[in-house]
Structure 1
């Protein structure tokens, strides 16, 4: 199952690259990534008649993939033909060789999809069909993350609908306690997936999945470009938000500067 899954993902992302070249927008790779992780994981889990534990894992990863894939697809379509700032930056870095470099980038995304789906391959290969404490805890942690991320995204969408001013800062609901509650709960989800897989043979080896996701969110594709863009658009209002609000883990906000004078 492993080699066919990898080959199919390489083919899909090559086709996705060709599609993005045609529309002159590489942002859809994010939606392809989320959807393909779900499809690859479901391929592993549902290829044979799944037991209740495997079916539960399939529901959880399917829900994550469908929710995030829909959210990203809707956002990308809404902003098209404007491209995500990350890919605009990459165009600048790779000027003159954008197409081949983006092809390598897309193929790298295909490999990451394969690696992030491996925890579900181990769950599918587990000969023990019974729920163990780790799989139960993992399922509950994942469910908590899914609910939290959904709430965070809906609160942000509601804020933008009520206040379309691009300079306004959302500090309502979960966003009062974290500048990126959606990223925090995404990390929680992948910790839950790891805990679920940990009960299966060799499940410990998938510790890289939550570690990589959390690292990317904290240091690469998540908080750094989002914060830089927010400061550029919102100015001092966002800098004040940075001073008072935790960047990742939800925590009680600090007093703002005006209240300390």
Structure 2
């Protein structure tokens, strides 16, 4: 592995993230809808993977590079498309609306500090296994395919969970009801669990080289954010306030993250 070439790659992908976040912020400010950044989240990883794919052409194994690019692109494009379709025409997300209410100064520095810089930084850090994987010259086949299998399990959980929720919401008979069927009966967050597993799989792609092992903090950071910060914790606080006893029962009988068979209803 060429450490110098990888270092250049890291610098250029950092520039790419800054550009993606700056363009997203400019568009979001013009539209007065900061939740647009959620659509761009997955697409930003695709940009990083594309930049890394071309920069690594003379250094990494071709099959490994194609797999890393394909898996990242499939995940990012599906996620971006799903969020765009889900949010289209609904205005500002309540999370961002609540955040913007706390602004006591100029808007641009505030959104940079609270939205675009943190999300851009996390995006770049979480993407490090993909960047390293592109520069692995001699991947270990068993490690490569283990990464693909783990990624596929996570992608299935995320995509199927999102599809089940979207179908549930489209049915007028479910208006006002809580989704607790399918994968949502086994975990309260199949999409977040799937996301975590996807990035564990992408991390494994980099593990044919010792530098890849060092990037274990990347999927750990993604999982931490999904569980304790912007994902599960934030959503469940809001749902507990709005749903009351019905949601409390769901919390009691359904796993918070790792899938397991649901417990019997208590009400």
Matched, 1:167 2:176: yes
TM-score, structure 2 normalization: 0.89
Equivalent in 77, 84, 103 of residue 73 of structure 1: 84
Give the SS at the match of 1:257. coil
Mapping 1:241-252, distance limit 5 Å: 241-252=250-261
Q: Which runs of 5+ in 1 are unaligned?
A: none
Q: Which runs of 5+ in 2 are unaligned?
A: 1-8
Q: Deviations over 1:16-56 (max 9, x none)?
A: 11211111110011122210111111221244276112111
Q: 1:166 touches 1:234 (CA, 8 Å); kept in 2?
A: no
Aligned length, in residue pairs? 255
Q: In structure 2, what is the equivalent of residue 115 of structure 1?
A: 125
Q: 1:167 touches 1:235 (CA, 8 Å); kept in 2?
A: no
Equivalent in 235, 242, 257 of residue 244 of structure 2: 235
Q: In structure 2, what is the equivalent of residue 38 of structure 1?
A: 46
Mapping 1:148-187, distance limit 5 Å: 148-163=157-172, 165-187=174-196
1:94 Cα shift? 2.3
Give the SS at the match of 2:255. coil
TM-score, structure 1 normalization: 0.91
For residues 11 and 53 of structure 1, the distance between their equivalents in structure 2, rounded to whole angstroms, comes to 27
Q: 2:168 touches 2:174 (CA, 8 Å); kept in 1?
A: no
Q: 1:45 touches 1:120 (CA, 8 Å); kept in 2?
A: no
Equivalent in 2, 25, 34 of residue 17 of structure 1: 25
Matched, 1:8 2:19: no
1:257 Cα shift? 1.6
